[in-house]
């Protein structure tokens, strides 16, 4: 007999029908079958990042709840990974040789869902069902969503999961790499550092941790909850190859990810300095929009500001 969760996820249609979101120009009648796409220029990535931010704030506004701040801060990181770095196939989400992305800060799932839709894992119209009953796109990432590798919600678990995935790939003699996105507030969790210690003990060089260093956790500043600095030195002390970058600079992100591939015998950590709510004036660096949906007036202002960035 199926349990309640299985019954929820096996119903055929969402009960709520909402007008679809925009579908950006690359995904019309055809869908790219595999990534990375080395033909994409930095300017094209920047243009996509604007469209992705528009979809993020729209889906959260339509859903009536969600986490815009930490989703917007991670756009360039995920765009770099999904469009230019990771080997993955939207038509075969469980491809055995794929690289894996683990969203440890799983409340920021809107940024993941939008990237998965733009890659073709599911129709972008489905973004409009975010947080609705029967939707595959719930408020925290779930493995029954195509392309999602780990169910999350309880912070601190993703690096352990990523470490296990990376070790598994190595044991199976696969060249797959594992990328884990952590929140900076999440680095308060002891489990992060247990995994960090284990990763160097086992010389796991196909594992990359990326810290979204936006300086805000929940409704306040990370420095007031737990002073993490010097954060990069902490990762180095645990034996990780560690770099600090601008997390909104595509050139810096892509360069650091390529350099991480060359590192042997140890994992890599990338401390990416970002702004929570990036791209929208009233959300940027504002703790109020950690977990608050914009109202219709705010949504229109946000979309207008993003359009002006084109």
Q: Is the pLDDT of residue 238 over 50?
A: yes
Q: Is the pLDDT of residue 27 over 90?
A: no
Residue 147 lies in a domain: yes
List the one residue out of 7, 120, 107 whose CA is nearest residue 63.
Answer: 107
- Render 105-116 in DSSP notation, one character per residue: SGGGHHHHHHHH
Cα dist from 309 to 51, 78, 152, 286, 306, whole Å:
10, 19, 33, 20, 5
Provide φ and ψ at 37, rounded to 5°. -110, 95
- Tell me the mean pLDDT in the region 234-250: 98
Residue 78 lies in a domain: yes
Distance CA 133, CA 256 (A): 40
pLDDT at residue 38, as a whole number: 85
Residue 19 lies in a domain: no
Distance CA 136, CA 203 (A): 36
Q: What's the whole-number average pLDDT of the chain?
A: 90
pLDDT at residue 72, as a whole number: 98
* Count of H-run helices and E-run strands, the chain: 11, 7
Lowest model confidence (mean pLDDT) among 6-10, 172-176, 204-208, 280-284: 6-10
Q: How confident is the model at residue 33 (pLDDT cuts 50, 70, 90)?
A: low
Place of tokens 């199926």: 2
Distance CA 106, CA 94 (A): 20
Contacts of 268 by beta carbon, 8 Å cutoff, 6+ apart: 205, 207, 208, 209, 240, 241, 242, 243, 259, 260
pTM (two decimals) = 0.89
- Tell me the mean pLDDT in the region 269-283: 98
Residue 21 lies in a domain: no
Q: Is the pLDDT of residue 11 over 50?
A: no
Domain that holds residue 98: 41-307
Residue 24 lies in a domain: no
Enclosing H/E stretch for 221 = strand 220-221
Tens-place pLDDT, residues 44-59: 999 999 999 999 999 9
pLDDT at residue 32, as a whole number: 54
pLDDT at residue 39, as a whole number: 87
Tokens found for residue 49: 């990042």
Q: Is the pLDDT of residue 31 over 80?
A: no
Residue 155 lies in a domain: yes
Residue 207 lies in a domain: yes
Tens-place pLDDT, residues 170-223: 999 999 999 999 999 999 999 999 999 999 999 999 999 999 999 999 889 999
Q: How confident is the model at residue 22 (pLDDT cuts 50, 70, 90)?
A: very low
Residue 250 lies in a domain: yes
Q: Is 11 left (phi over 0), alpha (psi -120 to 50) or beta?
A: beta
* Domain total of the chain: 1
> Strand pairing partners for 179?
101, 208
Distance CA 254, CA 123 (A): 27
Lowest model confidence (mean pLDDT) among 10-19, 224-233, 247-256: 10-19
Q: Is the pLDDT of residue 13 over 70?
A: no
Instruction: Report the CATH number at residue 283.
Output: 3.40.50.970
């Amino acid at each position: 007999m199926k349990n309640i969760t299985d019954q929820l996820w096996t119903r055929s249609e969402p009960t709520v029908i909402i007008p679809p979101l925009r579908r950006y120009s690359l995904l019309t009648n055809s869908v790219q079958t595999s990534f990375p796409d080395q033909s994409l220029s930095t300017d094209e990535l920047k243009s996509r990042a604007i469209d992705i931010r528009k979809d993020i704030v729209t889906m959260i506004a339509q859903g009536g709840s969600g986490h815009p701040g930490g989703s917007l801060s991670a756009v360039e990181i995920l765009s770099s990974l999904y469009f230019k770095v990771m080997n993955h196939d939207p038509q075969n989400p469980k491809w055995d040789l794929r690289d894996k992305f683990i969203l440890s800060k799983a409340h920021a799932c809107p940024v993941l869902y939008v990237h998965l839709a733009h890659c073709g894992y599911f129709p972008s119209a489905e973004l409009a069902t975010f947080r609705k009953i029967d939707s595959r796109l719930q408020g925290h990432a779930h493995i029954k969503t195509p392309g999602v590798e780990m169910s999350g919600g309880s912070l601190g678990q993703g690096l352990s999961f990523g470490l296990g995935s990376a070790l598994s790939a190595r044991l199976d003699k696969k060249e797959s790499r594992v990328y884990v996105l952590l929140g900076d507030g999440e680095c308060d969790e002891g489990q992060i550092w247990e995994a960090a210690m284990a990763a160097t003990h086992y010389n796991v060089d196909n594992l990359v941790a990326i810290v979204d260093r936006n300086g805000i956790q929940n409704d306040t500043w990370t420095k007031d909850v737990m002073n993490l600095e010097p954060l990069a030195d902490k990762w180095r002390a645990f034996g990780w190859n560690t770099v600090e970058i601008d997390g909104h600079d595509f050139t810096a992100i892509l360069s650091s990810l390529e350099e991480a591939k060359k590192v042997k015998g140890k994992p890599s950590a990338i401390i990416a300095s970002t702004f929570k709510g990036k791209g929208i004036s009233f959300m940027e660096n504002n703790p109020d929009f950690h977990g608050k949906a914009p109202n219709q007036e705010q949504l229109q202002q946000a979309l207008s500001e993003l359009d002006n960035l084109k």
